[in-house]
Structure 1
Amino acid sequence: MSVATASRALNGMSIVTAKTREKIEATASELNYVPHSGARSLTKRKTDTIGVILPDLFGEFFSEIIRGIDLVTHRAGKSLLLGNMHGSAEETGLAIRAMRGRVDGLLVMPPDSRADTIEAVTRDIPTVFLNAQGKDEVTPFVSVDNYAGARLVTDHLVDRGARTIVHIAGPASNRDARERQRGYCDVLAERLGDSSPHILPGDFRDDAGRKAARLLLNSDISFDAIFAGNDMMAVDLMNELRKAGRDIGNDVLVAGFDDIPLARYVTPGLTTVHSDITRLGSAAAELMLRMMKGETLDPNESLVIAPTLAIRGSSAGRA
């Protein structure tokens, strides 16, 4: 058989007779032959692979994003190549360069949700930003309206009777964290006339919730509600408050942001902003597949997801 005939048979092309295909496939099986994906990519000038670069791969937030991406890409017969830039703009640039020639496009969540830090190294490869948007808004993006979500949950706590609402912030450099804090502050000013809210530092990791709880329990702040900047901090905060004898949902109301799966299974269930993390990933993947087909996307096709409120037992006690 010629190389061309073997190639056509192994690639499933219909111009090869059934008898010839059977012989080639049988021989390939006997020899344990596996097609070389790199060689195929050079011939086809595409890899059928999408690169995904995230600030971290640990935690339910990132696993839900990856799940949403995989739901779409697997159905389309594409592969994923994951990269972790550990929240560093420099490492993000290195990860993007390492993926060149190995992927047909990139889904990138920039460090601190700031696309301007990496725009220069993504301009010559199809890219969709996750939870961020570039300065010129030319690069397609999918993000969550963090400000609106923070307003929703803070309004809810006020409606449930809370008057001293403490906020555990995310990293100061993170755009999402700043938008959530801004929404919280605006509601307190508008609804309660509070221009000096109690804000504790955090970093979106679970131990920050534990530290914030200990700080509050040892302070003279008479708080009746806590809005944590994300669910991971809120869950650990509730655990620490419970150990101290606080009745979550009655003595103190607690709310988070993201609605990770764990939020539904802790006791009491965590009231939180449902930001539809899985959809964040799947919508970005759908935009990327269109770009890989050669479509030029209109900037208006970028998506800002409007969050909703998931009300559970952690804010049930007051009215």
Structure 2
Amino acid sequence: MAGATLKDVAREANVSIASASRAINGLDNVAEAVKVRVLEAAARLRYVPHGGARSLVTSRTNTIGVLLPDIYGEFFAEIIRGVDVAARARGLHLLVSGSHGNPDEAVRAMRAMGGRVDGLLVMSPFVESHDLAAILPLSLPVVTIASRIGSGQGSISVDNFGGGVTAVKHLLEQGCKRLAHISGPSHNFEAEERKRGFLSAVRQPSPVVFEGDFTEESGYRGAKAFLASGPLPDGIFVANDMMAVGCLLALSEAGVKVPQDVALVGFDDIPIARFTSPPLTTLRVGIFDLGRRGLELLVAALDEGGMQEHEGLVVTPELVLRDSSRHKTG
């Protein structure tokens, strides 16, 4: 049996199809009594509005575009989960794409979303990303998360430099004297800021830095490089938790005890950080909340009819102390 149509609802409520449409779509130019009658009729008939038709009336697609550097791994899964939970609570749909760290792919993805979304959530922390500001759709509210895009619109950023400083101070407080760093890729602005924080706070000359790429494999290679090159560091700050997992494995394979021989600090606090052996000390940025708050900021802009320029929200990483950095003895 075919579902009820808008025409059926209008007939049931004894109003015109135009009045039924305005009432269903929540527009203001309809009397309250008519609205109540139409909604009651729709409920009785179990009428389900057609999304495409509704968007023509309201000029809304009820869809949010989400552009991330990648969609692989726990970090991005948590970002998407935060966005999705907040979107579902508001009856919104998501259109998700990954740029794979390529600004040209980011441009193509944003252009493909044009006309299909009501607003954009963009995460593009790569150094070249400031160029993307020039092609952001002026007609769409845009919120950036942990990005290098100077769009002058809504933004949520992380104090990565401060996080790097906090990690080093903690390792020094644990009695570590030979510090090393496994960084993220040099073309990543967040990775560079974490490394800059590390270098500004470390007290030793020429600290050892290994450049990784945010994957477990590169963290594993970084630890192997430290093991093969002279005195082993007694404290390692790793620029993200995924690399810290790989670093832990390499140290374990070499018979190096964490934290007795080497104290280890990661960054992000992805869900698995609690379940490594030993559990990983890390800098928590609230990944889920980054996504959730980004979506909420974007919805507020949609409700207000446009994004108001502001300084943006800055998240301060929080040190989460677990066993991997408890280096002190006695």
The TM-score, its normalising length taken from structure 2, stands at 0.85
For 2:299 and 2:42, the matched residues in 1 are separated by 35
Tell me the residue number matched to 2:258. 248
Task: State the AA in 2 paired with 1:102.
Answer: R
Deviation of 1:170 (Å): 0.4
Q: 3-state SS of the aligned residue for 2:147?
A: coil
Tell me the residue number matched to 2:29. none
For 1:23-34, list aligned pairs within 5 A.
24-25=45-46
Q: Is it true that 1:61 corresponds to 2:82 in the alignment?
A: no
Q: Is it true that 1:315 corresponds to 2:330 in the alignment?
A: no
Deviation of 1:98 (Å): 1.0
Q: Is the alpha carbon distance of 1:121 and 1:312 closer, same or farther for their aligned partners in structure 2, counting shifts above 3 Å? A: same
Contact map agreement 1:115 1:129 (CA 8 A) in 2: no
Task: State the AA in 2 paired with 1:5.
Answer: A
Q: Is it true that 1:272 corresponds to 2:272 in the alignment?
A: no
2:239 to 225, 229, 232: 229
For 1:271-310, list aligned pairs within 5 A.
271-300=281-310, 302-310=312-320
Contact map agreement 1:113 1:131 (CA 8 A) in 2: no
Tell me the residue number matched to 2:31. none
- Unaligned stretches of 5+ in structure 2? 12-16, 26-34
For 1:86-165, list aligned pairs within 5 A.
86-112=100-126, 115-124=129-138, 125-135=140-150, 138-165=152-179
For 1:305 and 1:197, the matched residues in 2 are separated by 27
Aligned-pair Cα RMSD in Å = 2.4
Task: State the AA in 1 paired with 2:145.
Answer: L
Cα deviations by residue, 1:68-123 (Å, 9 ceiling, x for unpaired): 21222221221111111111111111111111111100000125165413112214
Tell me the residue number matched to 2:14. none
Task: State the AA in 2 paired with 1:166.
Answer: A
2:199 to 177, 181, 185: 185
Q: 3-state SS of the aligned residue for 1:258?
A: coil
For 2:306 and 2:52, the matched residues in 1 are separated by 27
Q: Is the alpha carbon distance of 1:17 and 1:89 closer, same or farther for their aligned partners in structure 2, counting shifts above 3 Å? A: closer
Q: 3-state SS of the aligned residue for 2:126?
A: helix
The 10-residue stretch of structure 1 (112-121 or 8-17) with the greater mean CA deviation from structure 2: 8-17
For 1:109 and 1:318, the matched residues in 2 are separated by 38
User: How many residues in Structure 1 have an aligned counterpart in Structure 2?
Assistant: 306
Q: 3-state SS of the aligned residue for 2:153?
A: coil
2:10 to 5, 16, 27: 5
Deviation of 1:57 (Å): 0.7
Runs of 4+ off more than 4 Å: 9-13, 17-21, 295-298
Tell me the residue number matched to 2:28. none
Contact map agreement 1:133 1:141 (CA 8 A) in 2: no
Q: Is the alpha carbon distance of 1:2 and 1:65 closer, same or farther for their aligned partners in structure 2, counting shifts above 3 Å? A: closer
Task: State the AA in 1 paired with 2:321.
Answer: I
The 10-residue stretch of structure 1 (178-187 or 93-102) with the greater mean CA deviation from structure 2: 93-102
Contact map agreement 2:278 2:324 (CA 8 A) in 1: yes
Cα deviations by residue, 1:268-294 (Å, 9 ceiling, x for unpaired): 110111111112111111110011113
Deviation of 1:240 (Å): 1.4
For 2:6 and 2:255, the matched residues in 1 are separated by 78
For 1:222 and 1:18, the matched residues in 2 are separated by 73
1:196 to 200, 206, 209: 206
For 1:212 and 1:95, the matched residues in 2 are separated by 33
- Unaligned stretches of 5+ in structure 1? 29-33
Tell me the residue number matched to 1:263. 273
Q: 3-state SS of the aligned residue for 2:282?
A: strand
Contact map agreement 1:89 1:111 (CA 8 A) in 2: no
Task: State the AA in 1 paired with 2:38.
Answer: V
The TM-score, its normalising length taken from structure 1, stands at 0.88
Task: State the AA in 2 paired with 1:71.
Answer: V
Q: Is the alpha carbon distance of 1:38 and 1:215 closer, same or farther for their aligned partners in structure 2, counting shifts above 3 Å? A: same
The 10-residue stretch of structure 1 (80-89 or 12-21) with the greater mean CA deviation from structure 2: 12-21
The 10-residue stretch of structure 1 (126-135 or 251-260) with the greater mean CA deviation from structure 2: 126-135
Contact map agreement 1:133 1:139 (CA 8 A) in 2: no
For 1:310 and 1:158, the matched residues in 2 are separated by 16
For 2:227 and 2:133, the matched residues in 1 are separated by 44
Task: State the AA in 1 paired with 2:167.
Answer: V
Tell me the residue number matched to 2:38. 16
For 2:307 and 2:39, the matched residues in 1 are separated by 41
For 1:197 and 1:78, the matched residues in 2 are separated by 48
For 1:66 and 1:20, the matched residues in 2 are separated by 34
